[in-house]
Amino acid sequence: MSLKIKNQLGIFDLQNDFSIEIEDTSPIYNERGSQSVPATLPASRNNLSLITHVHRPDSTYSPAPDARVTVSDGVYNRIGKMNITQASKSGGIVSNIGFDESELYSEWNAVSLRSLSAPVIRPEGGTAGVINLLNSIMNETIVDDALSVFPICVAMPSHTTTVNGTETTTYYPEYINKITKLENGTYSLQGTARQETFLINNEPVFTSVPEGYAISPFLKVSWILNFIFVQYGYTVLENPFSTHRQLSRLVVLNNMADSIVKGFIDYSDLLPDCTINEFLQALYCRFGMVYFVDGKNKTVNLKFIKDIISTPASLNWSLLKSARPVINYAAAQQLKLSASTNISGPYTNLVATPTADSLDKFLKPFGHVLSSNTAKGYLTYSLWDGFYYVRNNLTGVREARSSDFFPWDKGANISYMEISSIDECLPMKGSYPDDQPVCPAYLLGKVHKYTNISSASVELAEEQNTQTPLCFCFSMPRASTPYPYGSPRCYAPGGEAIAINGHTFDISMTFTGDNGLFSRFWKGFDAILRHSNHTVEVPVHLNPIQLLNIDFSQTINIDGQRLLLDTVRYTLPKLLSRPATVRLRTLRLLIPVGETDLDLDAEQGIQTIEQLYKWAFHNNRENIVELKIRAQVEEWKKAITPPAQWLGVLRKNEVSDQVSDIEIPFTVPTQEDYEAGKEFFIKEINYSFDLYYKVRVPNGQTSQGDIIWKDKEYGGVHYAITYGLSVKAELL
């Protein structure tokens, strides 16, 4: 028999008819990875010694966790990890072998990113040298493969005082990487030893901090990905986060206040509190990033699902099949994408959690009308902070209504494929309540590791459980922003699109919107889930070399159809007469019976309507007043004789129960409302006043004989009326 299985201690005995079934799986459709079906090895003396006699009840040792083994069959040679599930002299040794990514899946569930041995850099000059390095990185006078620097807000504590019954709230924002503009136009980190005011035990305290305090760089996602795989002996061959013009600027935030005060940067301090799998799952949820492991060559390729499903077929297996394909039709599905929204500040603009379960549900009460006129529109959207605002129709004041961190959920009447992540959605802080520039609001407190910050009277006590949750942010190019700037969106602080070297950034860390992650990375796959994704099973004659080099990121041509590999199942030892069972997924979109075409825009798009009209207040008060006072005014006019001159009437002591905060029970008018002159009655208003009239009468003469005139008021007749208040459709 050419089939051999060996570990570090020797070669296992195999009976003549022994075979092992292996199933290689695509990481797109499967989570457990490539592995063998459980098989039973004979309980020979040799085999029991190779597993250190773990079959014995009195054994000193437990089975080695994932012991490395080699499976070979002629030119087929593959390294994996053996997992023993049962061992006895009578029943044999039951085990399975995991290959490629399966070697990593189970381990990475329990491995924290921060537990990995990360680099430590020590620039010359201690803390001052670190600050100089980070200033250069921030101003992009040097480019660093691992680090980025820009300001973030990490806390927004407040202190409330009461004076004469009036409450006043003062906020004390806390920052990482606060900046100062220099005379030469560059920016410098505020890194000198200094005194700052902190809110401690709800009281403002003037506190001394050391050099380098509240300065910390951020690690790039591209570097972290490469770091993870290198730690496990793999070389990353393809990494789009290193090459894409915008994604190469994606970082993870950290809130460590004293990361550089000792004069070095330990990269492990800059990593988030999450496992490796949680980090990779976040990138999968956000971008559809999948990693393909080659255990034989110890290499990894990182790819986006959107790119995989759109590439032409690279292999044609039509002539290798031994029977006709069997198609199993799957029920239609839709994507649901979500991430964490736990960040929350003291006012609405700093709350990540949206006010509805989906953007569709949020827009529905507004009739899906969204105005691009931010100065006059009723419902508007702010590009730089990602908030939806509603404008008071009467006062014109805008009120923040919801963040744009909605899950992606179209709510169609089909089942879901749900993908979620633990990473936090990131609000943006404006210039309120201080005069600091716009920056990300990573409001999760500060972490201290190397210092104990204190004042003369009060110790600054940080909660020991303060962590650094996973959160992504773009470090924007200095050439495109007025100051060092980070944002989860692709817009500058003023709402302008970010552009560099002729390339406009077009990715925002939201699931909704034209620049959102669904549109940029998931739209094609969602269409496949809705109108394809059926399984095709076909026996295919694949030789050992082909089996060893299966690439699940490639699409396959079978009978003129482009398909994506799901699983390849085969038996060793490999016999020419025994084909592999191949399962593939369809990619071609099928039109439902009874329809002539697909309307993906309607299925996947979140439609909005531009606001063209507004409701405006109207009332008939002046008409009613005019009719009410007409007779009295005419009587007064008739009583005026020359040289007295009639000047008109005026109202005093006006009283009305019309209030300024009357709400219009509508969002915006439709075109039909406007064309029809639609008007809606709101309420009856009580109005009263005293009516006076004014006349100009002679009051002596000047020395030159000119008449001196004097204005006088008469009357004081009281009136009380009721008029109707309504709203009418007008052009915006």
Q: Give the three-class secondary structure for 261.
A: coil
CA atoms lying within 13 Å on the CB side of residue 595: 8
Instruction: Return the pLDDT at 474.
Output: 98
Q: What is the value of pTM for the model shown?
A: 0.89
CA 105 to chain centre: 25
Residues 26, 30, 32, 38: what is their CA dihedral angle, to the nearest 10 degrees? Answer: -80
C-alpha closest to that of 214 among 172, 267, 261: 261
Residue 329 has pLDDT above 90, yes or no: yes
Q: What percent of the chain has pLDDT over 90?
A: 76
Residue with tokens 């009308």: 369
pLDDT tens for each residue of 187-207:
999 999 999 888 877 888 888
Measured CA to CA, the distance from residue 59 to residue 52 in angstroms comes to 8
Whether residue 433 has a cis bond before it, omega within 30° of 0: yes
Would you put residue 33 in left (φ > 0), alpha (ψ -120 to 50) or beta?
A: left
Residue 225 has pLDDT above 90, yes or no: yes
Q: What is the 3-state secondary structure of 575-586?
A: CCCCCEEEEEEE
Measured CA to CA, the distance from residue 631 to residue 638 in angstroms comes to 11
Residue 357 has pLDDT above 60, yes or no: yes
Instruction: Return the pLDDT at 31.
Output: 81
Residue 149 has pLDDT above 60, yes or no: yes
Mean pLDDT rounded to a whole number for the chain: 92
Task: Pull the structure tokens for residue 726.
Answer: 């309504």
Task: Pull the structure tokens for residue 268.
Answer: 């492990």
Phi, psi of 528 (to 5 degrees): -65, -45
Measured CA to CA, the distance from residue 528 to residue 334 in angstroms comes to 9
Element (H, E) at 396: none
Contacts for 503 with CB less than 8 Å, ≥ 6 apart: 245
Task: Pull the structure tokens for residue 56.
Answer: 């014995």
Task: Pull the structure tokens for residue 222.
Answer: 């591209």
CA 217 to chain centre: 21
Measured CA to CA, the distance from residue 561 to residue 551 in angstroms comes to 18
Task: Pull the structure tokens for residue 654.
Answer: 């006006």
pLDDT tens for each residue of 71-105:
999 999 998 889 888 888 888 999 999 887 776 77
Contacts for 262 with CB less than 8 Å, ≥ 6 apart: 127, 450
93: burial class by Cβ within 10 Å (0-12, 13-18, 19+)? buried
For residue 473, what are the CA distances in angstroms to 200, 509, 559, 634, 688?
29, 8, 45, 73, 59
Confidence class for position 462, pLDDT limits 50, 70, 90: very low
C-alpha closest to that of 141 among 150, 132, 152: 132
Between 535 and 396, the more confident residue is 535
Residue with tokens 């129960």: 657
Residue 575 has pLDDT above 90, yes or no: no
Q: What sign does the dihedral 305-311-315-318 (CA atoms) show?
A: positive
Measured CA to CA, the distance from residue 711 to residue 647 in angstroms comes to 9
Burial 598-624 (b: 16+ CB within 10 A, else e): eeeeeebebebeebebbbbeebebeeb
Measured CA to CA, the distance from residue 713 to residue 722 in angstroms comes to 26
Q: State how beta strands 174-176 and 152-155 pair.
A: antiparallel
Instruction: Return the pLDDT at 626.
Output: 96
Measured CA to CA, the distance from residue 13 to residue 41 in angstroms comes to 8
A 10 A CB-CB count for 160 gives: 9
Contacts of 523-526 spanning 24+ positions with Cβ under 8 A? 523/306, 523/604, 524/305, 524/306, 524/309, 524/310, 525/288, 525/305, 525/306, 525/309, 525/335, 526/334, 526/335, 526/604
Confidence class for position 455, pLDDT limits 50, 70, 90: low
CA 143 to chain centre: 26
Cα angle: 307, vertex 311, 315; to 5 degrees: 135
Residue 14 has pLDDT above 70, yes or no: yes
Query: What average pLDDT does this structure show over 557-565?
Result: 97
Instruction: Return the pLDDT at 460.
Output: 46
Query: What average pLDDT does this structure show over 28-55?
Result: 88
Residue 420 has pLDDT above 90, yes or no: yes
C-alpha closest to that of 5 among 51, 45, 54: 51
